[in-house]
Amino acid sequence: MTRLLLFLALSFALPAAACASAHEDRIPLKHGILQLHDLNSALCNELNLPGCPTRDQVNLRGADGPDFLLALNACMWRGCSLAVADDSIATLTVERNDAPSKPEAIRRLCRIYAAERAPHATAAQARNWGLFLPEPLDPSRPLVVLIHGLDADRSDCMPIGELLHSAGQQVAYFSYAGDQPIADSAARFGQALAKLHAANPALTINIVAHSMGGLVARQYVEGPDYAGGVDRMILVAPPNHGSSWARLRTILSIEENLHLHHDDPNWSWTWLVTEGMGEAGTDLLPDSDFLNQLNSLPRRSGVKYTIIAGNHSGVNRVEGNCVQRIANWIPARTRTWWGFRHCYTRLQRTASHLHVQTGDGDGPVALTSAKLAGVTDYVVLPADHVSLYLPVDGRPPAAWAVIKERIVDDHESICPIAATACVK
């Protein structure tokens, strides 16, 4: 089936030639069995594209036949359909004028196909997404909603969530399909928060979002579907103006799915497709259509904004830890000996320098990308993209002190002690 997805994507990749009316192709079957090569050839011939060889076959009269037809017809564009008259003939109807030509449409169709092909796996995956509220929810107390970043899940929010909970806060988690278009994730977030606000109109909501999650939150809060109720929005390492590291999102997606394959018995190969096909990575690139649209919106009146950015590179932290481990290989009793002492001291200095070295961003997100017009509560911390939001080397998330101050302590501090730069 992966080859079928490939040939469908290739078939849809170029604009179709103009055709005034629908055209039908008769595809032979043998006792109800469809050779996908024949379907491939018919589609590619209609779109004037080279074929993509495959030896797969599907028994349209078998148990999976109806599901296959349903999924295939859902996947293909509006003017294209496959119907089975009997065990010997299938009819492919093609209207070229309706064929999609944009990559976004192609990816969406492939997601639909994968979802229809494995409905049980799709349903299991969907249970990981949505707004997860505390039970019971007390509408008289503020609620903090945590949102994760690209190719992550709500487990990444748990450390901050546990700290907020121990500080007496109600905590909710919003999780979404990390590779789908950011606008789709924001739409689902908006639907969940609008429903929550309608049921609890007096509930005060504070949002803490990491990385791309900040864009999900902004799209809802600053967009036309905002329902109200948000008091404060804290954006941790937000790529407001994009990140060139988004090109590496495929590696993150593979890493995440390897983790899920190992830990989740419901994992299916279709999860790689139904989570999205890289649209979020495209949205994250500097000057993308999504970012240009989002940044044209004004800040939401009545919502207090805080941006927390980092000026350490995660690469430097990893390199520093490696150098420190090498230094620790030198036995303690020999560290005062001539030669050994010089080597140990030099390695220690190098590790320390890498751990404190500052730069123009946190690795994936530059300081200039995190800034946002109209937001003056902008804090820069000596941390990288990961350590801002997650515990590293036994230390709490670097952003915790600022988050606690803005939400828990709720007083107007000019600048936290740990910050290297702060504007209020």
Q: pTM here? A: 0.65
Q: Find all residues with CB under 8 Å of 35, minimum gap 6, and list them.
A: 57
3-state secondary structure of 53: coil
Task: Select, from the ranges 54-68, 351-365, 393-407, the one with the highest average predicted confidence (pLDDT).
Answer: 393-407
Q: Does residue 112 share a domain with residue 132?
A: no
Q: What is the pLDDT of residues 39-65, one digit of tens each?
A: 777 776 766 655 555 556 778 887 767
Identify the CATH number of the domain in which residue 146 sits.
3.40.50.1820
CA dist 341 → 121, 324, 423 (Å): 58, 15, 44
Looking at 99, 117, 135, which one is the last position of a domain?
117
Structure tokens at 61: 């009269």
Q: How large is the average pLDDT for residues 215-226?
A: 96
Q: Does residue 296 share a domain with residue 152?
A: yes
Q: Does residue 244 share a domain with residue 171?
A: yes
User: In the prediction, which pLDDT does 116 show?
Assistant: 65
- Classify residue 66 as left (phi > 0), alpha (psi -120 to 50) or beta: alpha
Q: Does residue 169 share a domain with residue 81?
A: no
- Measure CA 80 to chain center: 31
Q: How large is the average pLDDT for residues 404-424?
A: 57
Q: Which residues pair with 65 in a beta bridge?
A: none
Q: Does residue 295 share a domain with residue 262?
A: yes
Token pair 């903090």 is found at 144
Q: Does residue 135 share a domain with residue 90?
A: no
Looking at 356, 388, 411, which one is the last position of a domain?
356
User: In the prediction, which pLDDT does 421 show?
Assistant: 43
Q: Does residue 303 share a domain with residue 319?
A: no
Q: Average pLDDT of the chain?
A: 78
- Better-predicted residue by pLDDT, 247 or 31: 31
Q: Does residue 288 share a domain with residue 325?
A: no
Amino acid at 90: A
Q: What share of the chain is helix, strand, coil (3-state, %, to 5)?
A: 45, 15, 40
List the end-to-end C-alpha distance of the chain, in Å, as a whole number.
55
Q: Does residue 318 share a domain with residue 279?
A: no
Q: Does residue 31 share a domain with residue 174?
A: no
Range of the domain at 250: 126-312+360-423
Q: What is the pLDDT of residues 296-330, one digit of tens each?
A: 999 999 999 999 999 987 555 655 566 577 767 77
Q: Does residue 48 share a domain with residue 10?
A: yes
CA dist 6 → 51, 88, 186 (Å): 11, 26, 28
CB 365 within 8 Å of CB 211: yes
User: Which of 142, 144, 123 lies closest to 132 in space, CA to CA?
Assistant: 144
Helices vs strands, H then E, count in the chain = 16, 13
Looking at 341, 356, 371, which one is the last position of a domain?
356
User: In the prediction, which pLDDT does 400 show?
Assistant: 96
Cis previous bond, 136, omega within 30: yes
User: Which of 176, 108, 175, 165 lies closest to 134 in space, CA to CA?
Assistant: 165
Q: Does residue 403 share a domain with residue 392?
A: yes
Taking the C-alpha atoms of residue 382 and residue 167, their distance in angstroms, rounded to an integer, is: 24
Structure tokens at 1: 């089936």
User: Which of 125, 129, 124, 127 lies closest to 148 in space, CA to CA?
Assistant: 129
Q: How large is the average pLDDT for residues 251-279?
A: 62
Looking at the structure of the chain, the number of domains it has is 3
- Better-predicted residue by pLDDT, 255 or 373: 373
Q: What is the pLDDT of residues 81-107, one digit of tens each?
A: 888 878 888 888 877 565 554 556 556
